[in-house]
Structure 1
Amino acid sequence: MKKTLTINISGTIFHIEEDAYEELQKYMVVLKKYFGKDDEGNEIFADIEARIAEIFTEKTSGKNQAITLDWVKELIETLGTPENFSEEAGEEEPLAGQKTRKRKLYRDPEQTVLGGVCGGLAVYFNMDPVVIRLIVVLIALLTSGAGILVYLILWVAVPKAVTTTQRLEMKGEEVTIKNIEKFLKDEVDAVKESYKKIRKSSFFSRRKS
Structure 2
Amino acid sequence: MKKTISINISGILFHIEEDGYTALKNYLDAINQHFSHYEGNQEIITDIENRIAEIFLSNLKNNKQVITADNVSNLIQKMGTIADFKAIEQDMGTEEPQTEESGNDFYKYVTPPEQNAGKGYKKLTRLVNGKILGGVCAGFAHYFSIDPLWARLITILLLFSGGLHFNGLHLPFFSEGFEIDTAIGWWTIIAYILLWIILPVSYDKPEDKNIKKLYRNPDDRVLGGVGSGLSAYFDIDVIWVRLAFVGLTFAGGSGFVLYFILWIITPMAKSITERIEMKGGAITLSNIETTIQQNLSTENTKEESTSKKTIARSFSVFR
Segments of structure 2 that go 5 or more residues without pairing to the other structure are 94-209
| Structure 2 contact 218–268 (Cα < 8 Å) conserved | yes
Alignment-derived partner of residue 87 in structure 1: 87
Shift of residue 32 of structure 1? 2.3
Distance 1:62 1:116 in 2: 41
- Which structure shows the bigger proportion of residues in helix conformation? 1
Alignment-derived partner of residue 18 in structure 2: 18
Letter in 2 for 1:75: L
Greater gyration radius: 2
Shift of residue 154 of structure 1? 2.3
Alignment-derived partner of residue 291 in structure 2: 183
Alignment-derived partner of residue 307 in structure 2: 199
Other structure's SS at 2:5 match: strand
| Structure 1 contact 47–180 (Cα < 8 Å) conserved | no
Shift of residue 107 of structure 1? 1.5
| 2:243 paired with 1:160 | no
1:1-209 alignment, distance < 5 Å: 1-36=1-36, 39=39, 41-60=41-60, 65-89=65-89, 90=92, 103-142=212-251, 144-201=252-309, 202-203=311-312
Specify which structure has the bigger relative contact order, considering alpha-carbon pairs within 8 angstroms and separated by 6 or more residues.
1
Shift of residue 84 of structure 1? 1.4
Shift of residue 80 of structure 1? 1.2
Q: 1:64 to 1:173 in 2, by over 3 A?
A: same
Alignment-derived partner of residue 96 in structure 1: none
Give TM-score scaled by structure 2 length. 0.53
Deviations 1:84-104 (CA, angstroms, capped at 9, x unpaired) = 12432337xxxxxxxxx6632
| Structure 1 contact 10–46 (Cα < 8 Å) conserved | yes
Shift of residue 31 of structure 1? 2.1
Q: 1:40 to 1:57 in 2, by over 3 A?
A: same
Letter in 1 for 2:293: K
Letter in 2 for 1:145: G
Q: 1:62 to 1:170 in 2, by over 3 A?
A: farther
Deviations 1:20-50 (CA, angstroms, capped at 9, x unpaired) = 2121112112222333466465554343223
Q: Which stretch has the larger CA shift, 37-46 or 169-178?
A: 37-46
Identical positions, percent: 40
Shift of residue 59 of structure 1? 3.7
Shift of residue 114 of structure 1? 3.2
Distance 1:190 1:118 in 2: 18
Alignment-derived partner of residue 97 in structure 1: none
Letter in 2 for 1:125: F
Letter in 2 for 1:175: I
Other structure's SS at 1:111 match: coil
Q: 1:58 to 1:157 in 2, by over 3 A?
A: farther
**Aligned residue pair count:** 199
Instruction: Quote the RMSD (CA, aligned, Å).
Output: 3.2
Distance 1:62 1:185 in 2: 40
Distance 1:181 1:30 in 2: 14
Deviations 1:42-81 (CA, angstroms, capped at 9, x unpaired) = 5543432232223224444796523222211111111111
